[in-house]
Amino acid sequence: MILRLAFDVMGGILLGLFFYGGLWLTVRRFPTTHHPLALALGSLLLRMSITLAAFYLVIDGQWQNAVAALIGFTAARVLIVHRRASCT
């Protein structure tokens, strides 16, 4: 049980790094793109689709797994925001 929850937290962290890392890359491309709206919407749809599909697989219909994965996802966001804030 503990090993499964650790797996779910790690999965949430990886999903968070993918989602927020992709967002960061998208925002960095805004100044050089000719179609910022298409870039933003395309990036959002791609990141959201992959993240939601992966969450569905990770949580396996159990609320405990969903909570663990969301904790990992949120931890990834906090880490990314903290890292970016310390770089400026």
Q: Report how far residue 63's alpha carbon sits from residue 82's, in angstroms, rounded to the nearest whole number.
A: 28
Q: Report how far residue 74's alpha carbon sits from residue 71's, in angstroms, rounded to the nearest whole number.
A: 5
For the stretch 14-63, pLDDT in tens is: 999 999 999 999 999 999 999 999 999 999 999 999 999 999 999 989 99
Residues with Cβ within 8 Å of 26's Cβ and at least 6 positions away in sequence, in order, are: 39, 40, 43
Task: Enter the pTM of the model.
Answer: 0.88
3-state secondary structure of 2: helix
- Per-domain residue ranges for the chain? 2-87
11, 24, 4: which is closest to 72 by C-alpha?
Answer: 11
Query: Token pair for residue 5?
Result: 């929850």
pLDDT tops 70 at residue 88: no
